[in-house]
Amino acid sequence: MAANSDTSAGGRVYYPGPGIVVTRAYIETSQARYRIGDLVIDDPSYLYAHPARAVALYCAVVELLLATGVAALYGSAGTLLCGSGAVAAAGLAGALWADDRRNPRRMELTAWYRGRRVVLFASADHRVFEQVRRAVIRAREANERPQP
């Protein structure tokens, strides 16, 4: 008979690593091992940091405004081109905004442990982060006392 791979000394394993192991009794990271009952889990943090993209977008907007002003000042046919450029720039800005909202660059799962905030897990991979987050939720639910 093969060993059951979803159990350990800490009970049922909800996420077996790498970087974090979530069981029914504890969460083990590279820094420490935390009992599930001692943790107060925070909501996940999604960090949207794109400074280079923001600067490029800002420069494009400034350039478009300057070109529109010059075209209007000289009364050239470039105004039509600037109008179409504005539509393209608005589409680009909308696409960048949608990408930033859907794809955060860093996600952190934090908790309070004995009065201090600890980072349990951090990742840029949305799929792995959600697997860990769901494993922590299942571990917390397994440790709750049933309501009468």
* Local confidence pLDDT in tens for the 148 residues of the chain: 334 444 445 578 999 988 899 999 999 998 899 999 888 888 777 666 555 566 667 777 777 777 777 667 777 656 666 666 776 677 677 767 766 666 667 888 889 999 999 999 998 888 898 899 999 989 988 887 766 6
**What does the pLDDT read at residue 58?**
73
Reading the block at residue 91, the tokens are: 């589409």
Q: Which pLDDT does position 94 carry in this prediction?
A: 73
Among candidates 9, 48, 32, 49, which has minimal Cα distance to 111? 32
